[in-house]
Structures are given as C-alpha cells and as structure tokens.
Chains A and B, each alone.
Chain A
C-alpha cells in the first residue's frame, strides 16, 4: 500500500483535488481543444505539483509492461511495413475475388480485421486505406462503403487479441490475461461479429457495387509481387513478427511479460535492419525507425496511468467500486452486462483508452465484493468487448475512425458524422448484442 497524503496544497482534501484535476482533464479531452497528450501530461503534472502524489508514487503508477509492448510493436511495424507486405496482402485479396467490388468489400474488410488483430488499428488503416483508395479509384467507385467497412473491421478485429487494441493491452497487462486467453475467449465471438457485420454491409451496399470489365482488368493488372520492395527485409520482419507472436502465445510457459517479448523482438529486428551497414547508415536507419514510434501516444499513456493512479491511491476508485458492488448487489451477471453496455456507449462518445484505464482500477477495487479475482473474469471480457466494439459507435469512437475519415476527406469523399452514425449505431448495437449473447452462453447459461 502507498502512503497517501493527508492534505495537499491549500490544506485541501487530496481525494477531492485529484477528482477535480481528473474531471477537468477528462473535460478537456472530450472538448478536443488541446492535444490529448498535453492534456493528460498536464493533469499528471498537477497531481504531483499539488501534492496528491509524490514523484515516486507517480512513477509506480505507470504500467511499463504496456509501454514496452506498445513501443516494441510500433518499432516492429515501422520496419515491417517498409517491405510492402501489407500492400501485397491487399492486392492479393482483391485479385482473389477477380476484382469484383462486392468481393473486394468483404476481402479488404477481412484483411483489415486480421491485420488489426496482429497490429494496432491505426497502423492497419494507415496501411490498408491508401491501397483501398487506389483500387476503388481504378474501379471508378465511391470509396465510402469500403472505408466504412474497414473502420468497422479494424475495431472488431482488434478486439480478438491482446495486442489488437489498446484497451486489451491495458486489461491484459493489469489483470494478467495472456495472449492466448484473449484468443480463446474472444476469438470466436469476434469471427461471428465480423461475419454479421459483413452480411449487414453486403445487404446494404452489395448489389449496388458494380463496375465495368475494363476497370476490373486495370486492377487485375496489378502485380502484387512487385509490391514487395525488399525481400530480405520481408523475410526478416515476418520471421521476427512470427517469433514475437509465438512468444506472446507461450508467455506463461517461458515466464516472460509481453512487453519484454515485444521490445526484445523489436531490438532484434532493428539489429537485423542495420547489420552490415556503415556506421553512418546505421545511425540513419535507427533514427529513421525511432522517428516513427508514436512518442506522443506513449506519453499519453504515461500521463494517463499517473492520473488514474492518483484516484486509486487517494481512495476515490475504492468508493466508486463499493458503489458499483452495492448497485449490482454483487451480481456478477448484472455487473458484466452493465459493464459491457456502459463501456460500449462510453467508448462511442469518448476515447476508450482513458475510459478503460479508469475502469480497470475501479473494477479491481470492486473485485472482493463481487466474489474475488476468478469470479471477475466475465466482467473483464465484458469491458474488453464493450470498449473495443464501442469504438464503432461514432466517427470519433476510435482513433482509427478519425484517420480513415481524414483519408476519405483528402480523397474527396468526406465521411459526415451524422451519415456515419446512421450505419455505425446499428452495427455497434448488433455487435454488442452478439457479445451479450456470447457472454451469457459462455459464462452464465451453465451450458
């Protein structure tokens, strides 16, 4: 246990000061008038300056496993993407369905979902959307249905694994769920939700997606093997990526944290990337790759951990946790379903990363009242499903959505917030309903 401050600046109660700083930070995050990283770092700084936390406590609040995992995967992806493998996959999938638009919609959405499960969603859409725009441009079609499908697929696919979406990284690291726990628990339901989403989109747009034979021939003329820019790099990066994923699967057996595995894999790939190069070229390559690491995202996570930790050590989350237990009457099923739907709705409105970062210690503080760590499992899966799938509920529900909307605008097909909602809300409701049914059958039906 940490020693908590009895009083802070101006003799105020630390719990209320931390609460005020936290609410102000959240309000600023929602208003989007100041960059989110600056907002959380400012909030974290104020927690220390006002005496709510000392620096030692602030550092102790940072989950360095999450930071290491994010950093490692960012480095691996930064190197791997240079090989052109992601463009290769997109073109290969397109040609597999003879460049027929209806098939492309389903294939590119599925490629996006699979990649999102193995990489982060933002990286996936950054890699897939430009090649999608190129393909639909050749087919003389509106990119709208394809981009919408990729938004949904990225959020759904990312739900399936520990590394697919930041909320899962946070939950996995805090609760101790392994990579395989996520795959076993969420893999099947994600496949069902993805399939349901595809059926729905095909029903809406499928029959209207037509093009000419001449346009299809232009796409079929693409040579996917020429998308590979560096075969040596391709082999190296895919080998390391496969080793890292195998490491995640075996993490419990080899007694290593996912952060250590990802960071070691990233270092190994960096080594292979510079091996045999001149000293000057090595520096250029290493700096070039490290420039691609999203330092602002990492700083955002660090600030967030400190903010939430301040609430935790000053007892506010324990009070809220007790309130949750009282509200649910220690009913795990009710708590799981409330968590699922509340997380989905909240994540459609606000960034799901700070939301989950707050919910984790809150639920942890309620765990004793809810029957202990083992009984809590359905609630953690409900949080993961709700937070990840909720990202589909609006255009600002997930960073990947905003990125795709930016691409669409630059391509001359802006995605309007209200128009997106018309399809996003039904998709989100459908997916959360499937998740509800799945949680019930798996954990509460006694099958």
Chain B
C-alpha cells in the first residue's frame, strides 16, 4: 500500500515569514503540537513544534544544546516566562524551524510512513510532491485510524 492511499489533504501550515506569535495562535487554534512550515512557493521547509516554542520560554542555558537538565532550584514566575515570550513573539519563525524532518512521497510505501511515525515519535509525517517538494498532505496515526474505520 502506498502513502497516497490514506494521506490526508494538505494540512494546516505556517509560512517562514510568520511570527512566533502567529505560530502560537495557529497551534492553539488547531490544538496542534507541531505544524509544517513552507515558503511562499509552498515548498516544504520544516516543522515548528511546541517543544521548540517551549524552549523560547526558558533561559538559553536550559534550551541550548547540552544545556541544564534540572532546574528545580530556580524560582521562576509567570512574569519571567511572559517576559521571555514577549522578547521573541515578533521574531520570524524561520530561525526556529526544525529542518531535519523525515518526509515521504505519495508513492512511498505506507510502511515507511508508519515506521517513521513509530521510531521518530512524530505526530505527523509530511507528504511532499517529489517533483517540486511542495507539501501535498500528511499522515498521522489519526489518518491511519480513519482509513481503517472506512475499510470496516
């Protein structure tokens, strides 16, 4: 079975020139944990995740590579977190996009997508047009369940 058999239509996406604030609003609106990011030609660039955005609420010494793992000694207030969010909310999301994302194509075996979902803890695998790398759809566990229900 190929990915195109069950993939859902192009998912909600962000553009590289959206701001952090716009990304947060869209994530909240759609109750999503991550969203694909494309450029204005709809070419897939990567993903923005709530994990990455959570890092923006933290000091660099925690969110950086090899940063602090335990910070129970800190006495942070909501005001501190809010301050940090305000500092970055107008910045473009392009600098926070994770570009190292596994993708599949409509003709890829479905098992490729399911294996990626399982091993990489992804919520959704982007499906791209192999000719122009544009985002054409997505595959998630929910997509799979819906396909199974329809089969029944």
> Given A223-B75, A407-B64, A410-B64, are A137 and B70 also a contact pair (CB < 8 Å)?
no
Residues of A near B62 (CB, < 8 A) are 130, 134
When chains A and B are docked, how far (Å) is the Cα of A332 from the Cα of B68?
48
Contact of A137 with B73 in the complex, beta carbons under 8 Å: no
Set of chain A residues within 8 Å of B71, measured between Cβ atoms: 134
Q: Which of A138, A218, A229, A407 contacts B70 (CB 8 A)?
A: A229
A130 to B66, CA, bound (A): 8
Q: Which residues of B contact A225 (CB under 8 A)?
A: 73
> Chain A's interface: helix, strand, loop or mixed, by majority?
helix
B59 contacts partner chain A, Cβ-Cβ < 8 Å: yes
Known A-B contacts A134-B59, A137-B59; A411 and B73 likewise in contact (beta carbons under 8 Å): no
Report B-chain residues with C-beta under 8 Å of the C-beta of A222: 73-75
Across the interface, A410 reaches (CB within 8 A) one of B65, B72, B73, B74, namely B65
Determine if A91 is an interface residue (Cβ-Cβ < 8 Å): yes
CA distance A407 to B70 in the complex (A): 17
Asked if B60 CB lies within 8 Å of chain A CBs, one says yes
A227 CB–B CB distance under 8 Å: yes
Whether A256 sits at the interface, judged by CB under 8 Å, is no
Residues of A within 8 A of B68 (CB): 87, 130-131, 134
Do A410 and B75 touch (CB < 8 A)? no
Confirm or deny: B132 has a beta carbon within 8 angstroms of a beta carbon on chain A. no
What 0/1 pattern do residues 390 to 414 of A give for CB contact below 8 A with B? Answer: 0000000000000000010011100
User: How far apart sit A87 and B73, CA to CA, in the bound complex (Å)?
Assistant: 9
B residues in contact with A410, CB < 8 Å: 60, 64-65
Nearest residue (CB) in A for B66 is A126
A contacts with B, residue count (CB < 8 A)? 24
Q: Mark A406-424, 1 if CB is under 8 A from B, else 0.
A: 0100111000000000000
In the assembled complex, the CB of B93 is this many whole angstroms from the nearest CB of chain A, namely 19
Q: List A contacts of B74 (CB < 8 A).
A: 134, 222
B61 near A: Cβ within 8 Å? yes
CB pair A87 B70 closer than 8 Å: yes
Select the residue from B60, B62, B73 with max chain A CB neighbours within 10 A.
B73
Q: Is the CB of A427 closer than 8 A to any CB of chain B?
A: no
Among residues of A, the one whose C-beta sits closest to the C-beta of B80 is A218
| A84 interface residue per 8 A CB criterion | yes
The digit string for A199-238, where 1 denotes a CB below 8 A from any CB of B, is: 0000000000000000000100111111101000000000
A186 within 8 A of B: no
Tell me which of A84, A131, A223, A226 contacts B61 (CB under 8 A): A131
In the assembly, what is the distance between CA of A224 and CA of B74, in Å? Answer: 9
Q: How far is the CB of A96 from chain B (nearest CB, A)?
A: 15
Selected A-B contacts with CB under 8 Å, 17 pairs: A84-B70, A88-B73, A130-B64, A130-B68, A133-B60, A134-B59, A134-B62, A134-B68, A218-B75, A222-B73, A226-B73, A227-B70, A229-B70, A229-B72, A407-B66, A410-B60, A411-B60
A-contacting residues of B (Cβ < 8 Å)? 59-62, 64-68, 70-75
Other 20 A-B pairs with CB < 8 A, given A137-B59, A410-B64: A84-B70, A87-B68, A88-B73, A91-B73, A126-B66, A130-B67, A133-B60, A133-B64, A134-B68, A134-B71, A137-B60, A138-B59, A222-B74, A223-B73, A224-B73, A226-B72, A227-B73, A407-B64, A411-B61, A412-B60
Give 10 nearest A-B pairs by CB, closest first. Answer: A133-B61, A134-B61, A227-B73, A221-B75, A226-B73, A226-B72, A410-B64, A130-B68, A130-B61, A222-B73
